[in-house]
């Protein structure tokens, strides 16, 4: 059986001493963690090793000043059956082997590499002493050239606890005040706030901030990455929002926007009126039923007239509203975008209403037609059995049924045309809102911290290892160098994406077409259910 020894590179140039490490059961491998230098008292060393939890391997490392030749005295092993795998201790210590799901306790069934990585990262207590300390045990390992540290990181660590506590307290106060005001009118506000994107986005961000500002340290690697990703995405959000504010308020663009808004709304209304006039005439050469046409056309025209009057009523306040809404972008670009999506939804409310009227009328017509068609053929829908059965009708039932069927059939093109036109308009609005929502979603869920780690410190996210053969001389055992194989960029994004209330299409294309054909109301984007308190 081949014996594998994992040897840290930092100990290659160490003075002679005793190798300390772990023995991996079932894999015939040993992981060397540090070297204890001469002179040492064997009793104290034994006590220390036992305390730290390692196994002292009874080999003598006879390296002198950089030669790197090791003589092992384990009896019964020929020199040819040993593999030395050199690894860089600092990188293996700090890296995380993906997938990170399996539990931490290292059993015999976990893979060898995982055991090696786990052993090194769990031996932190061994790395506290080094050869310059005044203790009886002098060690060499990756920290022996001096403990790594950075002033900025330490200062940030000290400052983070009070900041976290402060943020958590502010959040608690805010949520309390919001819930108190909500007790007053529960139903309407709750319904509206679940429909408005900006309220959903706000609640989502509050949840995020609560996660980030919890004063307990993150225990597992996944929690730590999640916190860091949320924090970075929040920072990015706020930065982009501030940039947007700077751009908007620099040359009084808000005023220009407000001045352009009213003529735009007027223009949309005018286009709609022209469209309705066209439908009331002979659209695309089709001949409509004059009476029904006039009724529907006039009904919709009156709606548009009402809508325009309301917009004109609001016109003096628009600039002020826009000014304050623009300021709210300091909460983040995502908030500004969801507000924009909500504003679009409010401004095109009349199109939504028209769509609902048209769809309902069409739907009613289609159901009537299907049921009367069954009557035409002498059948009936059995509600109890949920199927179509034959049925004998009376003469007058048949007569009236056929009459109604004919009327509905000949009125179908008119209703269908109105339905088609307003459905298309509604689809355009839905597409625009969908694009905005997708952008918001992207900013929310993109793992910026994980990607930054992958670019700058690629060894922390490890997909596996790679080996390269170091030196080969006949008679000496094989020396291999173990490097860390970093995770691919696509896997990084996939593993560390923050789970969001992503909007995704509710129906497949086929189901959507079927619903459109039957006239059912469609709400193509659906939010994943979240905890909306």
Residue number with CB closer to another protein (4 or 138) = 4
**Strand positions, DSSP E, 15-168:** 17-24, 29-37, 55-61, 82-87, 96-97, 139-140
**Shortest reach from residue 79's CB to another protein, in Å:** 11
Give how far the C-alpha of residue 117 lies from the chain's centroid of Cα atoms, to the nearest Å.
Answer: 28
Question: How far is 49 from 54, CA to CA, in rounded Å?
Answer: 6
Of 351, 480, 493, 516, which one interacts with another protein (CB under 8 A)?
A: 480
Residue number with CB closer to another protein (65 or 474) = 474
User: How many chain residues touch another protein (CB under 8 A)?
Assistant: 23
**Torsion over CA of 231, 233, 234 and 239, rounded to 10 degrees?**
130
Residue number with CB closer to another protein (42 or 475) = 475
Per-residue tokens: 278: 């066209």
Q: Judged by CB under 8 A, does residue 369 bind another protein? A: no
Binding mask 66-85 for another protein (x = CB under 8 A): --------------x--x-x
In the 3-class helix/strand/coil scheme, how is 248-275 assigned residue by residue? HHHCCHHHHHHHHHHHHHHHHHHHHHHH
Window of 109-117, 126-134, 305-313, 453-461 that interacts with another protein by CB under 8 A: 109-117
Of 17, 358, 477, 519, which one interacts with another protein (CB under 8 A)?
A: 477
Of 185, 383, 473, 510, which one interacts with another protein (CB under 8 A)?
A: 473
Pairing type for strands 82-87 and 478-486 reads parallel
Q: Judged by CB under 8 A, does residue 1 bind another protein? A: yes
Of 12, 47, 51, 111, which one interacts with another protein (CB under 8 A)?
A: 111
Q: Judged by CB under 8 A, does residue 107 bind another protein? A: no
Q: Angle between the 186-195 and 197-212 helix axes, to the nearest 10 degrees? A: 90
Q: Judged by CB under 8 A, does residue 466 bind another protein? A: yes
Pairing type for strands 461-469 and 96-97 reads parallel
Window of 273-281, 396-404, 454-462, 470-478 that interacts with another protein by CB under 8 A: 470-478
| 3-state class (DSSP) for residue 57 | strand
Query: Tokens 């839905």 sit at which residue?
Result: 430
Per-residue tokens: 97: 């082997």
Question: How far is 346 from 368, CA to CA, in rounded Å?
Answer: 33
**Shortest reach from residue 113's CB to another protein, in Å:** 6
Q: What is the DSSP string of 492-505?
A: HHHHHPPP---EEE
Site for another protein in 405-464 (CB under 8 A): 464
Do 140 and 35 touch, CB atoms closer than 8 A? yes
**Shortest reach from residue 467's CB to another protein, in Å:** 6
Residue number with CB closer to another protein (68 or 401) = 68
Question: How far is 351 from 428, CA to CA, in rounded Å?
Answer: 10
Of 206, 289, 371, 485, which one interacts with another protein (CB under 8 A)?
A: 485
In the 3-class helix/strand/coil scheme, how is 8-30 assigned residue by residue? EHHHCCCCCEEEEEEEECCCCEE
Residue number with CB closer to another protein (263 or 474) = 474
Residue number with CB closer to another protein (9 or 193) = 9
Residue number with CB closer to another protein (114 or 290) = 114
Omega prior to 179 cis, within 30 of 0? no
What is the phi/psi pair of residue 331, to 5°?
A: -80, -10
Nearest to 140 by CA among 21, 4, 30: 21
Of 257, 429, 465, 512, which one interacts with another protein (CB under 8 A)?
A: 465
Binding mask 28-67 for another protein (x = CB under 8 A): x---------------------------------------
Site for another protein in 85-104 (CB under 8 A): 85
Of 180, 184, 384, 469, which one interacts with another protein (CB under 8 A)?
A: 469
Q: Judged by CB under 8 A, does residue 113 bind another protein? A: yes
In the 3-class helix/strand/coil scheme, how is 100-111 assigned residue by residue? CCCCCCCCCCCC
Of 185, 474, 529, 531, which one interacts with another protein (CB under 8 A)?
A: 474
Of 250, 472, 509, 531, which one interacts with another protein (CB under 8 A)?
A: 472
Residue ranges that bind another protein, judged by CB under 8 A: 1-2, 4, 28, 80, 83, 85, 111-113, 464-467, 469, 472-475, 477-478, 480, 485
């Amino acid at each position: 059986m081949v014996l594998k020894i994992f040897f840290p590179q930092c100990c290659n140039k160490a003075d002679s001493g005793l190798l300390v490490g772990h023995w991996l059961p079932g894999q015939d491998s040993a992981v060397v963690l540090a070297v204890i230098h001469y002179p040492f008292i064997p009793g104290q060393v034994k006590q220390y090793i036992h305390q730290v939890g390692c196994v002292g391997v009874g080999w003598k490392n006879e390296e002198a000043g950089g030669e790197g030749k090791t003589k092992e005295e384990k009896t019964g092993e020929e020199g040819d059956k040993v593999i030395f795998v050199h690894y860089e201790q600092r990188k293996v210590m700090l890296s995380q082997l993906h997938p990170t799901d399996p539990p931490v306790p290292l059993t015999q069934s976990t893979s060898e590499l995982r055991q090696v990585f786990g052993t090194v990262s769990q031996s932190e207590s061994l790395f506290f002493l080094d050869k310059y300390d005044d203790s009886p045990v002098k060690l060499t390992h990756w920290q022996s050239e001096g403990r790594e540290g950075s002033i900025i990181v330490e200062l940030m660590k000290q400052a983070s606890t009070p900041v976290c506590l402060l943020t958590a307290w502010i959040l608690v106060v805010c949520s309390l005040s919001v819930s108190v005001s909500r007790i007053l009118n529960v139903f309407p506000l709750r319904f509206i706030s679940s429909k408005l994107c900006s309220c959903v986005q706000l609640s989502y961000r509050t949840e995020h901030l609560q996660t980030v500002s919890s004063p307990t340290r993150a225990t597992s690697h996944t929690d730590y990455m999640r916190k860091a990703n949320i924090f970075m995405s929040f920072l990015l959000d706020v930065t982009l929002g501030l940039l947007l504010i700077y751009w908007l308020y620099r040359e009084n663009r808000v005023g220009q926007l407000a001045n352009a808004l009213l003529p735009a709304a007027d223009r949309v209304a005018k286009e709609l009126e022209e469209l309705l006039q066209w439908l009331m005439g002979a659209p695309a050469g089709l001949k409509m039923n004059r009476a029904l046409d006039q009724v529907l056309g006039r009904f919709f025209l009156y709606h548009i007239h009402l809508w325009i009057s309301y917009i004109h009523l609001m016109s003096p306040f628009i600039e002020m509203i826009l000014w304050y809404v623009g300021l709210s972008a300091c909460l983040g670009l995502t908030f500004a975008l969801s507000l924009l999506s909500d504003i679009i939804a409010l401004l095109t409310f009349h199109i939504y209403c028209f769509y609902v009227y048209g769809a309902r009328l069409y739907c009613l017509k289609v159901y009537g037609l299907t049921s009367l068609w069954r009557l035409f053929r002498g059948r009936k829908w059995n509600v109890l059995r949920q199927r179509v059965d034959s049925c004998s009708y009376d003469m007058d039932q048949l007569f009236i049924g056929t009459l109604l069927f004919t009327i509905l059939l000949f009125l179908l093109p008119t209703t269908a045309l109105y339905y088609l036109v307003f459905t298309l308009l509604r689809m355009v609005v839905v597409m625009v809102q969908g694009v905005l929502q997708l952008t918001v979603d992207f900013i929310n869920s993109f793992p910026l911290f994980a990607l930054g780690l992958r670019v700058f410190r690629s060894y922390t996210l490890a997909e596996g290892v790679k080996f390269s053969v170091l030196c080969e001389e006949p008679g000496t055992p094989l020396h291999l160098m173990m490097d860390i194989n970093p995770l691919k960029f696509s896997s990084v994004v996939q593993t560390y994406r923050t789970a969001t209330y992503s909007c995704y299409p509710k129906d497949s294309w086929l189901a959507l077409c079927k619903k459109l054909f039957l006239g059912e109301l469609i709400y193509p984007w659906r939010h994943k259910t979240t905890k909306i308190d």
